[in-house]
Structure 1
Amino acid sequence: MPAPLVLLDLDGTLVDSAPGITACVAAAYRSVGLPAPDAATLRSFVGPGIWESLRRHGVPEELVPDVVAAYRERYAATGRHDATVFDGIPALLGDLRAAGIRLLVATAKPEAFAVPICGDLGLTPLLDGIFGTSLDESTSKAQVVARALASAPDHDPATTLMVGDREHDVHGAGEHGVGCIGVTWGYAAPGELAAAGALEVVGTADALRAALLARLGADAVV
């Protein structure tokens, strides 16, 4: 029987990356002469891809490439370092692996950033793989999920789950028949995860551990 598989979002699920992302988005807007968005709008940029977010918030199409370039330059230099691991996550990942669960990051963040961030924050040794988008974000969350699943060709859909903090995590996993457990310590609006169809929504790392072990039938770990 193949080992259970959990796909994990990165921003807002494993890592609090909002300070670095929002500061870089605000600076990128100003670099092309646009006023920086308000705090709530900036927060909505955490999770989805930057191209998608800029278009959703009405940045003129002709300015989008310049805003993205400014964002990428600042994020690579400073923003990616302004991130911390959420409380309880390293212990959670260690417990899940001890229970025989395979762990793969599947993020809408470009893989070129996701891999070094996981390394810098000490998460890489606790993971079995890290999958993200291309720098131009031409790959969707669902396509990232597909790549992650393909890396574990023996996975059983009945013992495969996604964990994420935004609706696109739920939808991206759902396109491949994978259910998603939502977490409330990320960046979703109130009710967003339930409305998207999350299997359940949990508020602590301990609650997430219990939910995953129960749903995957894995051995309990104290």
Structure 2
Amino acid sequence: MNRRQVAVAELEGRIGYVFHDRELLERALTHASVGDGALKVRHYERLEFLGDRVLNLVAAERLMALYPDAREGEMSRMMAGLVNYHACARVARSIGLPDALRMALSASKIGARDKDSVLGDACEALLGAIYVDDGLEAARAFFLAFWKDEFERLGGPKAKDPKTQLQEWAQARGLPLPAYAVEKREGPDHAPSFTVSVTVGDYDPELAEGRSRQEAEKAAALVMLLKREGPQ
């Protein structure tokens, strides 16, 4: 296994997601400089186009849930803070994406591997690839896990934890308190992935993944809220 292959494996470990379609992952990590623009080389630009739209959707969905009383102008300000190439580049660095990128040596030599614009596009491409590979819930889970620091940068009012929101939602309807259960634990000890279910009364359980049990429980609670009530 060469150095880049190790970096790709570590990337999947950090994000807690292993691609079913390996060619899709490779495309998401391939910069346009590879092959000097040859048509036979499939790079990440189309996936970046899709990922940008997915990012806007899950970010808007989350903001609606967190800030039910915010005005449209305030929502737009916060949205701009979440959906830009600087924010995406910070996420890219946090998951080790630079080392996993496939790019021409000439581009790497001029510093393209560490440019915010390049890393931001690659991060969106990765999000788009997760969406294609496993659907919106997987893309949402990735977003919820790795945009936490970006939400803290927003400076908006402190939002309630999704588990607290779900508990209040259940109590308001006279339902039992939410019950959480670990359905699956995968991955190495240094980068585990948890799948957790949440059940409220007679509602169908909802599943979500996270890098810790607590993170997965919060993601599952949010999925339950969004499916039962829509964005708050």
TM-score range (shorter-chain normalised) is under 0.3
Larger-gyration structure (1/2)? 2
Question: Which has the larger share of helix?
Answer: 2
Larger fraction in strand: 1
> TM-score when scaled to structure 2?
0.27
What's the TM-score once normalised by structure 1's chain length? Answer: 0.28
